[in-house]
Structure 1
């Protein structure tokens, strides 16, 4: 059999996926939001354009969505509001704006997230809700606004405060990353790492060879807060707050808004959206549902190896004198 082009691979996968019916077909419509071929290509990229493997991956994703009732997760608010605030205070993620190309900019506080104020189920629920809101609301809206498919985002990872205690959360982080790898593949265009201390440099050097080249090409470790580099792809107003340090922006930009805060417009809009959909489905005021339980996938062998490697390297670096110092971008390969 000759080499199949990317377009031919998409055609083949589309023929296979057209055979699904019932709940699987309905949930796939939620996934592609009218941008069928762009979303089929995501699964093909994740499986190196092997149609058979991509088909299996996509079917597994659709079954997971149906079994875990993912289609209804945007009508399942985390309540009471105090609990949602606790989740936001300890799972630092937010959206600060858009790139000039229209891609959402998600900020993640890797180093200062503690994941210690709620059960693992609430953190997984919150993460999936943000994924689904991005895919069902933000990306379709930006696609219409820009007149072209926008199906990915960029992520800015703040490593401020990264230290050995982060190992206590490595299992939860592995669960979340596995959910993303299996069910939301190729949704991130680029990862920008900022405020990276020595311990990140040490871990990155040993973890990088374990990752697929497709992934490592997306990771860019920036010097310091990364402000200068990020301003090449986004306006100042879209910079995450932790990238604005030392800035002399114009007067109406000097107020730095914490995009991790539950009071940030993104989180307020997301929570209002979820609560509204809960109420319009006739459920009235949402009751505390004991969290929305989602089936956790077993991390693959690669994920387990990476987690063990990070743990080992962080232990080695525990007594390093430069543990808390930001790393110069020249010491880490982008």
Structure 2
């Protein structure tokens, strides 16, 4: 089945990366029915009518529609709730200026990072939950900053990470491959670990739909199946199908999805980035051939240039104002 070109809206769609999904999937770009394409336009019109002007591009609206099985009313409700959340936490203003200097110290307890790509070209996201100690972590940062950092990283996945990966792969990539390492998560730590994971999962599912490609839960401890039964209750059935729960013998399965040279050595791969894989942020988003400035970076730079220009511009004298307007300068008092 050959992909059909995505109908783009010139007002909102200015993609500089491929816009066709890598394989035929119902409701995905390149494989939309005429009705689904019409539902994108319908959702956009409904949101415009309520005053929304941001994030109305076709790919974004499609993600919300897929998350709600193309029920336009439910997709609209989800989109509006997401926009309200973004405004409440001032996410658009925060992203260009976000600084997380406590990151290295936090990683002693909770490494969470993007590192290279899987065999499908998607970003690989790694979390190690065994060292989580919320009491110690809250002496370094706050729960609010932890969740804000997570939101900022989701924004950076959307742009520049996924666009760079799409350029390199030659097809549209909208999801990530996640590795969640539970090594060291015993019964004593379980409550606080799952408390945080539940908050993070809610953010992901409610505000960043259709971003999970595959999730490998590795080093799952004895008794995890009971916990997993509870976690599944928070998740959409489609999401559950993307999740693979593995014990300590996970390497073979993981290496089917992630090339050894892209997988950190501690997980059975061969990668050893200088300074540590967890702090390297290696991936196509840093490779000159594929990387481009994120749209939020461009907007921030343009705003800064505008502010600098207004500061640098000399204030015109009364004489100059009048001469520009074609009127004689006022006589001196």
Aligned partner of 2:170 in structure 1 is 147
Aligned partner of 2:66 in structure 1 is 45
3-state SS of paired residue (1:25): coil
| Distance across 2 between alignment mates of 1:177 and 1:208 | 11
Aligned partner of 1:322 in structure 2 is none
Gaps in structure 1 of 5+ consecutive residues: 284-334
Aligned partner of 1:120 in structure 2 is 143
Offset of 1:256 from its aligned partner? 9.2
Distance 1:212 1:237, change over 3 A: same
Moved more, 198-207 or 14-23: 14-23
Distance 1:53 1:20, change over 3 A: closer
Offset of 1:203 from its aligned partner? 1.4
Offset of 1:225 from its aligned partner? 4.8
* Match 1:156 to one of 160, 170, 179: 179
| Distance across 2 between alignment mates of 1:124 and 1:111 | 18
Q: Does 1:58 align with 2:76?
A: no
Offset of 1:243 from its aligned partner? 1.4
Q: Is the 8 A contact 1:225 1:242 kept in 2?
A: no
3-state SS of paired residue (1:24): coil
Gaps in structure 2 of 5+ consecutive residues: 1-25, 287-292, 306-333
| Distance across 1 between alignment mates of 2:104 and 2:274 | 20
Residues 218-266 of structure 1 deviation map (CA, whole Å, 9 limit, x = unaligned): 111234252211222221122144312xx7x5xxx57797433xx4245
Q: Does 1:78 align with 2:102?
A: no
Q: What TM-score results when the alignment is normalised by the length of structure 1?
A: 0.66
Q: Does 1:264 align with 2:280?
A: yes
Residues 278-313 of structure 1 deviation map (CA, whole Å, 9 limit, x = unaligned): 995659xxxxxxxxxxxxxxxxxxxxxxxxxxxxxx
Kindly report which structure 2 residues correspond to 1:167-206, keeping only aligned pairs within 5 A, or say none: 167-206=191-230
Q: Is the 8 A contact 1:46 1:186 kept in 2?
A: yes
Aligned partner of 2:312 in structure 1 is none
Q: Is the 8 A contact 1:153 1:190 kept in 2?
A: yes
Q: What TM-score results when the alignment is normalised by the length of structure 2?
A: 0.66
* C-alpha RMSD over aligned residues: 3.4
| Distance across 2 between alignment mates of 1:85 and 1:209 | 33
| Distance across 2 between alignment mates of 1:89 and 1:169 | 15
Distance 1:94 1:210, change over 3 A: closer
Q: Does 1:68 align with 2:89?
A: yes
| Distance across 2 between alignment mates of 1:105 and 1:257 | 18
Distance 1:24 1:44, change over 3 A: same
3-state SS of paired residue (2:52): helix
Offset of 1:133 from its aligned partner? 0.7
| Distance across 2 between alignment mates of 1:51 and 1:121 | 32
Kindly report which structure 2 residues correspond to 1:202-221, keeping only aligned pairs within 5 A, or say none: 202-208=226-232, 211-221=235-245
Distance 1:241 1:14, change over 3 A: farther
| Distance across 2 between alignment mates of 1:23 and 1:226 | 49
| Distance across 2 between alignment mates of 1:232 and 1:256 | 25
Name whichever structure is richer in helix by fraction. 1
Offset of 1:19 from its aligned partner? 4.5
Aligned partner of 1:14 in structure 2 is 41
Offset of 1:52 from its aligned partner? 1.3
3-state SS of paired residue (2:223): helix
